[in-house]
């Protein structure tokens, strides 16, 4: 039985979310490579490094359980398609100067999860949760009114990750084996894409003599390291605590967008963020109160 170590959990949780929050710095190094090609390599190298990591970091019985439940493979193929779509939109947004929209998407995500739980899993929302969701909706509507169109980058990121989480609940596989199987299932598509695009940058022999080739290879460990940190942190911390830490990643993305990459943060965007932040604050207070009641019950 694993001994719970909250200090270790906080350190690993902070490490995971800080790394996720700094992902834009990594993807900005690959701006010359199309987003789809980056994701193809992310799948390829994550599948390779993940397989090697599973040889070292044992997860007893995971493969036997999958073989005994073929339905889980079908579920993981669907969740893999969702996470790959999420990666693609995120990489494209970062390298297209739309990091603020990406940040907003991951702020919205916890509230989308609450709404999806109600619509798809029959969960009932508490009053404060309703208020939190309504404030998030108000932030989205404000953007629609100002821009004249839906903030599709934010909503797509929030929805793909929200549906990804719900689908993964239907296939209870540990985080690392689950991601590895998802990337293995996507691997034929990734290899097929490279074979059908002989003009792609990474297919050219000269490309592999450039620093960008090393950065593409690094997509494997860069994808897996924060996941391993998060998976370990979850064993030492309450899930609600991890829920609070998750806001660190979009906050780092927001700060980089404004102060490093000079994205325009006008009053209309600020108003939308204020609505979302208010919703998250109410959501967090409600989650904390609910946890406290469970402890005293």
Query: 1 falls in which pLDDT band (50, 70, 90)?
Result: very low
- Structure confidence by residue, pLDDT tens digits, 73-108: 999 999 999 999 999 999 999 999 999 999 999 998
Rounded alpha-carbon distances, angstroms, from residue 126 to 74, 196, 286 = 33, 51, 8
- Structure confidence by residue, pLDDT tens digits, 26-35: 999 999 999 9
Residue percentage of the chain with pLDDT more than 90: 54
Q: How many CB atoms lie within 10 A of CB 247?
A: 18
Burial of 193 (0-12, 13-18, 19+ CB in 10 A): middle
Please say if the pLDDT value at position 181 is more than 70: yes
Quick one: average pLDDT of 231-255?
82
For position 8, what pLDDT does the model report? 87
Please say if the pLDDT value at position 164 is more than 50: yes
Quick one: average pLDDT of 41-46?
96
Of 168 and 44, the one with more pLDDT: 44
Integer Cα distance of 254 and 208 in angstroms:
33
Please say if the pLDDT value at position 120 is more than 80: yes
Q: How many CB atoms lie within 10 A of CB 68?
A: 9
Integer Cα distance of 16 and 222 in angstroms:
11
For position 55, what pLDDT does the model report? 87
Please say if the pLDDT value at position 146 is more than 80: no
Integer Cα distance of 228 and 54 in angstroms:
11
Give the mean pLDDT of the chain: 89
Integer Cα distance of 23 and 10 in angstroms:
20
Query: 22 falls in which pLDDT band (50, 70, 90)?
Result: very high
Smallest Cα–Cα separation from 128: which of 293, 242, 285, 272?
A: 285
Rounded alpha-carbon distances, angstroms, from residue 88 to 85, 156, 173, 237, 286 = 5, 11, 24, 30, 33
Integer Cα distance of 116 and 181 in angstroms:
25
Of 268 and 292, the one with more pLDDT: 268
For position 296, what pLDDT does the model report? 65
For position 2, what pLDDT does the model report? 53
Please say if the pLDDT value at position 266 is more than 80: yes
- Structure confidence by residue, pLDDT tens digits, 48-70: 999 999 888 777 788 888 888 88
Of 294 and 159, the one with more pLDDT: 159
Of 240 and 71, the one with more pLDDT: 71
For position 88, what pLDDT does the model report? 97
Quick one: average pLDDT of 153-176?
88
Determine which of 77-81, 152-156, 228-232, 246-250 has the lowest per-residue pLDDT on average: 228-232
Integer Cα distance of 169 and 98 in angstroms:
30
CA dihedral 228, 233, 238, 240 (to 10 degrees): -60
For position 199, what pLDDT does the model report? 92
For position 297, what pLDDT does the model report? 58
């Amino acid at each position: 039985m694993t001994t719970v170590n909250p200090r270790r959990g906080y350190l690993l949780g902070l490490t995971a979310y800080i790394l996720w929050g700094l992902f834009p710095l990594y993807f900005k190094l690959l701006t010359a490579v199309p987003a789809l090609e980056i994701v193809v390599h992310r799948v390829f190298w994550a599948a390779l490094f993940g397989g090697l990591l599973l040889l070292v970091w044992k997860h007893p019985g995971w493969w036997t359980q999958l073989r005994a439940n073929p339905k889980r493979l079908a579920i993981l193929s669907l969740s893999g398609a969702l996470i790959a779509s999420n990666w693609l939109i995120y990489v494209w947004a970062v390298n297209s100067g739309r990091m603020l929209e990406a940040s907003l998407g991951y702020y919205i995500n916890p509230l989308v999860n609450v709404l999806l739980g109600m619509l798809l899993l029959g969960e009932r929302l508490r009053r404060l949760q309703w208020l939190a969701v309504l404030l998030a909706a108000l932030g989205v509507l404000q953007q629609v009114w100002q821009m004249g169109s839906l903030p599709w980058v934010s909503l797509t990121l929030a929805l793909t990750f929200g549906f990804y989480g719900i689908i993964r609940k239907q296939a209870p596989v540990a985080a690392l084996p689950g991601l590895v199987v998802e990337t293995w299932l996507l691997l034929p598509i990734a290899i097929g894409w490279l074979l059908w695009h002989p003009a792609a940058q990474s297919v050219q022999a000269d490309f592999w003599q450039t620093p960008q080739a090393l950065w593409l290879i690094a997509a494997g460990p860069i994808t897996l390291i924060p996941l391993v940190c998060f998976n370990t942190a979850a064993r030492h911390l309450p899930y609600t605590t991890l829920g609070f830490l998750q806001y660190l990643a979009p906050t780092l993305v927001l700060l980089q967008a404004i102060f490093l990459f000079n994205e325009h943060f006008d009053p209309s965007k600020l108003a939308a963020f204020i609505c979302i932040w208010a919703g998250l604050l109410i959501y967090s207070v409600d989650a904390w109160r609910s946890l406290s009641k469970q402890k005293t019950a």
